[in-house]
């Protein structure tokens, strides 16, 4: 891995953070363990693409029901570029790691009305 392809850059990339946060919401609010499993077993680019497709399909159902924010198209496109740069194993590790870390404060208030009403 070259210095320009550091793990820090991968883990802090906005697309990884965006999809990792969506995976976290899916896991914690919808018990979507199937998507984590799909990603765990994705070894090739094709399998990774299929795992992301299945995750987004499941997430869409949850997002509609719970009014959750969806990852933007730009993040999806960037994520596929990261797979080309870093490989499936590192990107999948970054996504799963983001999904399993402690939830950020902004995500807990994500569905609250603007103005901070609790």
Does position 11 have pLDDT exceeding 90, yes or no? yes
Residue pair 15/92 in contact by the 8 Å Cβ criterion: no
Q: Where are the domains of the chain?
A: 3-105
Residue pair 50/63 in contact by the 8 Å Cβ criterion: no
Q: Mean pLDDT over residues 16-37, rounded?
A: 92
Q: Mean pLDDT over residues 43-63, rounded?
A: 96
Q: What percent of the chain has pLDDT over 90?
A: 76
């Amino acid at each position: 891995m070259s210095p320009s392809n550091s793990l820090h850059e991968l883990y802090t990339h906005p697309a990884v953070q965006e999809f990792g946060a969506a995976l976290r919401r899916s896991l914690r609010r919808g018990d979507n363990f199937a998507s984590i499993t799909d990603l765990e077993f994705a070894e090739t680019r094709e399998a990774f693409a299929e795992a992301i497709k299945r995750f987004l399909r499941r997430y869409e159902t949850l997002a509609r029901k719970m009014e959750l924010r969806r990852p933007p198209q730009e993040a999806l496109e960037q994520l596929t570029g990261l797979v080309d740069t870093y490989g499936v194993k590192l990107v999948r590790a970054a996504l799963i790691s983001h999904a399993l870390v402690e939830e950020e404060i902004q995500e807990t208030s994500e569905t609250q009305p603007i103005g901070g009403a609790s």
